Structure formats: structure tokens, C-alpha cells
Structure 1
Amino acid sequence: MNEVYITKISKFLPNRPISNDEMEDKLGTINGKTSKGRRIVLRNNQIKTRYYAIDDNGNITHNNAQLTKEAVMGLCDDNFKAEDIELLSCGTSSPDQILPSHAAMVHGFLKNGNIEINSASGACCSGMNALKFGYLSVKSGQTQNAVATGSERTSTWMKSDTFEEELKYLETLEENPILAFNKDFLRWMLSDGAGAFLLENKPKGEQPLKIEWMEGYSYAYEIDACMYAGADKLDDGFLKPWSEYPSDQWSKKSLFAMKQDVKLLGEHILVKGVDSLKKALTKHNLKPTDIDYYLPHISSNFFKDKLYKEMTEQGVEIPWDNWFMNLSKVGNVGAGSIYIMLEELAHSGKLKKGDKILLSVPESARFAYSIALVTVC
């Protein structure tokens, strides 16, 4: 088996940073009224700025595949061209269409010759799953290099016109036309952007990062879906897919909007996350004190102190000084967040040879977790 190194990291964040006060100008108001939940959610998540693939005139500037293509091109220079890529592995929870796959669309924009592609579906863990596919390909010798990406373009999913038909329908039923909190909640959480890693079987570059191991854990066998899109959650927890509804119900129920069961999220996301972390550290005989930098992808700073408390209670406490996050500046970029976090750390000038970096990504869709350890070479 080959060793696998992250030799280059790139990110692409579209347009300019958007402040909290500008969000409804970009996404629109629901039923002509400012969201009551917005201030509560923003106060809890403590995100100050985020990025949207929407310009100041309201025009869409990039789709998801275009964002990803820009991140991939950020890896390329005179020494490594797009045509040198042997495998392109892309993860996202917000593909531009059902078919073709996200990676196929990114490859279409790259126009870099005949290569292998892989699309990892899911939510936040899709970016890590894309990374693992590339990691295993290089490790096994199937390819000498791979590019892995994580990206999201969720802003258009959150625009007010997505929900207008539902609100009109509620009015015809003489019900209060207020957007349910499980839909409104995510409008103030998510950001657009993309990140990319170049994986190679040699430690090239100024400061390569060796991938020591990657682990994944799913708790779907015991917990109902929490975050979902393209479906409606019934009272018994069953997800009824959009394809089983008449087409006139798709907009009336905002079936394609992203929704989150906030109660279920609070009950399980931290407990299962720390349980999976403990499993991974135990498997690899790694102590929390061995970790120099802990990069947790969390959707909201609301969970930060609670995560630390849960880690302490389960005996896997990582000191605050070793945490590294950039949520407040870039927002929650879902599958792209861990790429964008590591990019900032790698270019911060803080890293030194031998530093151990733990990447931790939860996915609330049906509670899955991805964990990886990388070492600075």
C-alpha cells in the first residue's frame, strides 16, 4: 500500500462576504415579513459573514459544479495541470440536478480529458466520503493522484420564492401562512462555497499532509431522518419521497426545500458524534492529548460548548487551545466546510512538522460521522 499525502489545498468562496443584516436582501422575505426566527438562529450560531453565489443585483453567479471547478483549478499550476488529474471525486448535498452526477458536471466544466470520476452523495459527510474514495484509490495504487472536493450551493434552495406556493396554499386552507421553523431554521445557517484537495503518493509541496487513517460511522439503523430534502416526514418518522406525491403537491409542500428536525438534532448529534470519535481514537490507540489541532465541523457555535462538555463526559476531551474553526467567517458550507477549514489552517503559518490534525465531520441527515487523522510532514 502507498502512503497518501494532501499536497495542495484550494478553496473558492463566491462573490463578497454577506453580513447578517444583508441576508434577507439576498434570500428574500417570506410572505413579505421579516423572519422571527432569523435573529434567534443567528444569535445562537454566531455566524457573522457567509458567501452566496448571488451577486448584488440578485443574479445567480455560479452553480455548484462551477464553484467546484473553480476550487479544483486553484490546485493547478505549471507543475500540476488539470490534465494531470487521474481521478476526480466530488461530494455535495446540493447537486445542481438529480442526473447527471455532480462529479460528471464538474468534469464537464474542467474539460481536462478522459479521467475516472466519482460522486459521493449524502450531506456533510459526502465531502469526506469523496476524500476517502480518492484516498483509497491512491493508497491501493489504482491511481497516483486524485482530486477530492466538497462543495455546496444552497442559497437558491433558501430563497423566498421556494416557499411562496406553500404559503399561498396555506392561505387557501385558512391556515396561518408562516413558514415552519424546521424550514426557516436552515435559511440562516448555510453558505455557498467549495474546497479541493490534491492527493498524491509522494510528499510533494512545501508542507504536505499525510493521511494516516479515515473512519466512518452511521447511526441510521437506530435514529430517524433529521435533515432531509425531496421528501416529507410523516408523523411516524417515515420519509415519503417526492416521487410518490402528485406534481402539484411538490411546491405546495415545499418538498424540495431543505428541512431539519431541530428536536431530533439536539437529542442525538453530540452524543453520537462523541461516541464515534471515541470509537475512532480507541481503534487507532490515539489519546486526545496526542492531537495538536482539532477541526470539528459544527453547524452552529450553539453546539461548541455542548460538544466540549459531551467530550469531557465521555472521556475524550481535547483542550480548547487545540481547536481550530472558521464558522463565524465563512458560515456552514456543509460538505465543503472541512476542506475550507483545513485550507485556512494549512496556509496560516502555524503548522510544524509532526503536528497531528484531527478532522471531524458530523452529518445530521440520519446521523453519520466521518473522522480522519492527518500529520504534517
Structure 2
Amino acid sequence: MSEAYITRIAKFLPNESVPNEEMEAYLGYINGKPSKSKSIVLRNNKIKGRYYAYTKEGIPTHTNAEMAALAIKGLFLENTDEIKNVDLLSSGTSSPDQIMPSHGVMIHGWLPETGSIEVVSPSGVCCAGMHALKYAYMSVKLEDKKMAVAVASERFSPSLRAEQFEDEVQQLIKLEQNPYVSFDKDFLRWMLSDGAGAFLVEGQPNKEGQSLKIEWIDGCSFANEEEACMYMGAYKQEDGTLKSFKDFSNEEILEKSIFSIKQDVKLLSEKIVKLGFTNLKNILINKGFDMNDVDYFLPHISSYFFESKIEDVLIENGIPVPKEKWFTNLATKGNVGAASIYMMVEELFNSNVLKKGEKILLAVPESSRFSYMFCLLTVC
């Protein structure tokens, strides 16, 4: 089989970085009042800037698919005609612009320069971008494709704006209940960001400049053991099962805020780090890889609150990573879901600090029902 290399990396971030003090100017005030959770969440996640694909007036500037396409075009800035040679588009997101058609083909629609190529759209949340990369990696490794593009993108912002919560708030006021949206929904507003990242995967490394050899990509899910933690378009029932939006009337969808992103914060804190990063030890053993050989550790974290938690679990399992080897750009880019890991790799790859032979370990936890993806790269 062929080897597979990431030969180019590009990103697209919409508009200007939004600092913490301007967030509600973009997101709006729920029930006309400042959020009570904002300062608490920002203090813990330590995010200083993020990107939104719309203006303060609420005018959209980009669709999810458009941002993904712009990131892909960024791979071919030096020779735009090369995009015609792409023979696979593999895309991941948790916030597509529509339920149907698939996100991948909508991206393809923004790329008329390409031919009638194969397009796939792995679904999921944060792991979706890694699943897209694995499909591209396997396709090149099997020599089925020669120039595969893996892309991950998110456009969370429309779901975070205050007007998306107003109808629910009015229902609560009528019932003389707390007019604030519950913490499990509100706190996500201060963490999520928009943007896209893209990798070009080929069977040969760059003749000039660096490439990243994909050594392996592996993952695991604990959905057989755990109930859903983060969900959208469903209602979590008392027994922990999810009831689909399809089984509610229009009135019930509004009343229960079915299409708001929700997260079980207590379950998140208890499970997200322990499950996946304990299992990482087994993956490393199976791959015959020693954690001491890692030069850069890139964990996707939604909040710096989890940084010390991950560190503790790695130490407990005898696979510690010194903090000087950690790399993340959460503070400046925000949590871009499936695209976050692409953003981190892009920034590190283009920083001119990598040396030939260095090992980069990627770690992507997904809280939706506790899935995890890990990947080892070698600088060449």
C-alpha cells in the first residue's frame, strides 16, 4: 500500500475576531438582559476571541458549505488550476446548513472548478472532522485516490443568537418560571465559534517543504455504555433516551426548545476526560507507540478547564505528556467543533518550528455520546 501524507493545510475564518466584551453585541441579550452565566463560563474556558459568520446586525456573511469551500481553495492559492486534480472530497461538520442534501455535496457545489469527484460526509460532532480525514487517509493509502481533500467546518453562530431563544423565554414567562434559559443551553453560547480547515492528502510528500506523514488514525465510542451528553433536534427523557424532533408537534418543538443545542454539564464533567484518555493507553499499546516519543500533543478541548483533567488522567495511566509539549489555540480561535483540530494543525504546521522526524499526537474527544479519535503524524 501507499503511504499517506498531509501536504498542504489551509483555514478560513469569517470576518474579524470577536473579543469577549463584544460577544453579546453579536449574540444579543436573551430577554433583554445580560447573561448570568457568561462571566462564569469565560473565566473557566479562557477563550479570548472567536469568529462569527454574520454581522452585529444579524446579517449572514457565509454559509457553512461556503466557508469549507474557501478553506479548500486556500490549499491551491499558488496554483489554482491544481484543484482540478482533486479526486475526493471528504467533509465533516456538526452544523450543516440543511438536513438534506449532504453537507459534502453542498461544499462541492461551491467548487465548480473540480470535476465529478467522489464526495462523502461523515456525520457526528467534534470527531466528524477526524472521520473525514480517516476516509481520505484510507483512500490514498489504498491507492484508490491520488489527491484527496479532507475538510471540517462549523457554523454554530445562528443557533446561538438571542432571537433563537426568545420564543422559549416568552413561554417560560407565561408560566411564571425563571425567564433565563437553563445553564445547559446558555453556557454553550460562550464557547462555540465558526470557521473551516482543510487538508490535502497525497501518496507522496512534498518535494520541497515539509509534509506530515499519517502514521495511523484510531478511535473509540462508549455509546454502548453511556447516554447522550450533547444533543440537538431531540429531547432527553428521564430514562436518558433521546426522543426525536420528528415525534413532536410544532408547538411542542417550540415549548421544549428542541432545536437548541443542549449539553448535560454534570455528565460531561464526570465522563468526557476519563473514558477516552484512559482508553488512549490501550490504543498506544496496540500501535506499539511510546508516549515518550511525542514531540507535540494537540488535544481538542472545549475549555481550558479540561486541560488539567486530561493531564491528571494521562499521569494516572502512566502516559504523561510534559506541558511544554502541549499545543492548542483555543484562546484565540474558540471552539470550532469538528474544525478545531484542523485549526491547531494548520497553525503548528505553518509556524516554521517543526523539525523532520518529530511526532505529533492529535486527540479529539466528542461529548455527544462520548466518542474519541486519535491520530499520529510524523514531520517529514
- Structure 1 length-normalised TM: 0.98
**2:220 touches 2:276 (CA, 8 Å); kept in 1?**
no
Aligned residues between the structures: 377
Q: Which residue of 2 aligns with 1:149?
A: 151
Q: 3-state SS of the aligned residue for 1:166?
A: helix
Q: Which residue of 2 aligns with 1:37?
A: 37
- Aligned-residue offset at 1:32: 0.7
**1:162 touches 1:251 (CA, 8 Å); kept in 2?**
no
- Counterpart residue type for residue 61 of structure 1: T
User: Within 1, Cα distance between the matches of 2:146 and 2:48?
Assistant: 40
Q: Which residue of 2 aligns with 1:240?
A: 243
- Aligned-residue offset at 1:56: 4.0
User: Within 1, Cα distance between the matches of 2:53 and 2:173?
Assistant: 32
What stretches of structure 1 move > 3 A for 4+ residues in a row? none
Q: Which residue of 2 aligns with 1:100?
A: 101
**1:144 touches 1:200 (CA, 8 Å); kept in 2?**
yes
User: Within 1, Cα distance between the matches of 2:150 and 2:165?
Assistant: 34
- Counterpart residue type for residue 253 of structure 1: K
Q: 3-state SS of the aligned residue for 1:75?
A: helix
Matches within 5 A, 1:200-349: 200-204=202-206, 205-349=208-352
User: Within 1, Cα distance between the matches of 2:211 and 2:81?
Assistant: 15
User: Within 2, Cα distance between the matches of 1:283 and 1:218?
Assistant: 17
User: Within 2, Cα distance between the matches of 1:376 and 1:142?
Assistant: 24
- Aligned-residue offset at 1:79: 6.9
Deviations 1:191-250 (A, max 9, x none): 000000000001125101100000010000000000000001111101011000001222
**2:229 touches 2:267 (CA, 8 Å); kept in 1?**
yes
- Counterpart residue type for residue 186 of structure 1: L
- Aligned-residue offset at 1:343: 0.3
User: Within 2, Cα distance between the matches of 1:47 and 1:370?
Assistant: 23
- Aligned-residue offset at 1:251: 2.3
User: Within 2, Cα distance between the matches of 1:273 and 1:298?
Assistant: 13
**1:182 touches 1:260 (CA, 8 Å); kept in 2?**
yes
User: Within 2, Cα distance between the matches of 1:34 and 1:241?
Assistant: 32
User: Within 2, Cα distance between the matches of 1:94 and 1:71?
Assistant: 16
Q: 3-state SS of the aligned residue for 1:357?
A: strand
**1:216 touches 1:371 (CA, 8 Å); kept in 2?**
yes
User: Within 2, Cα distance between the matches of 1:241 and 1:64?
Assistant: 24
- Aligned-residue offset at 1:287: 1.4
- Counterpart residue type for residue 209 of structure 1: L
Q: 3-state SS of the aligned residue for 2:227?
A: coil
User: Within 1, Cα distance between the matches of 2:7 and 2:320?
Assistant: 30
Q: Which residue of 2 aligns with 1:190?
A: 192
- Counterpart residue type for residue 159 of structure 2: W
Matches within 5 A, 1:358-373: 358-373=361-376
**1:162 touches 1:254 (CA, 8 Å); kept in 2?**
no
User: Within 2, Cα distance between the matches of 1:45 and 1:79?
Assistant: 39
Matches within 5 A, 1:71-90: 71-76=71-76, 77-78=78-79, 81-90=82-91
User: Within 2, Cα distance between the matches of 1:138 and 1:276?
Assistant: 28
Equivalent of 2:133 in 106, 131, 134: 131
- Aligned-residue offset at 1:145: 1.6
| Structure 1 residue runs without a partner (length 5+) | none
- Aligned-residue offset at 1:58: 2.9
- Counterpart residue type for residue 257 of structure 1: S
- Counterpart residue type for residue 160 of structure 2: M
Q: Which residue of 1 aligns with 2:66?
A: 66
| Structure 2 residue runs without a partner (length 5+) | none
User: Within 2, Cα distance between the matches of 1:56 and 1:237?
Assistant: 38
**1:276 touches 1:369 (CA, 8 Å); kept in 2?**
no
**1:163 touches 1:251 (CA, 8 Å); kept in 2?**
no
**2:91 touches 2:151 (CA, 8 Å); kept in 1?**
yes
User: Within 1, Cα distance between the matches of 2:267 and 2:17?
Assistant: 31
User: Within 2, Cα distance between the matches of 1:79 and 1:151?
Assistant: 21
User: Within 2, Cα distance between the matches of 1:53 and 1:307?
Assistant: 31
User: Within 1, Cα distance between the matches of 2:21 and 2:53?
Assistant: 17
User: Within 1, Cα distance between the matches of 2:171 and 2:361?
Assistant: 47
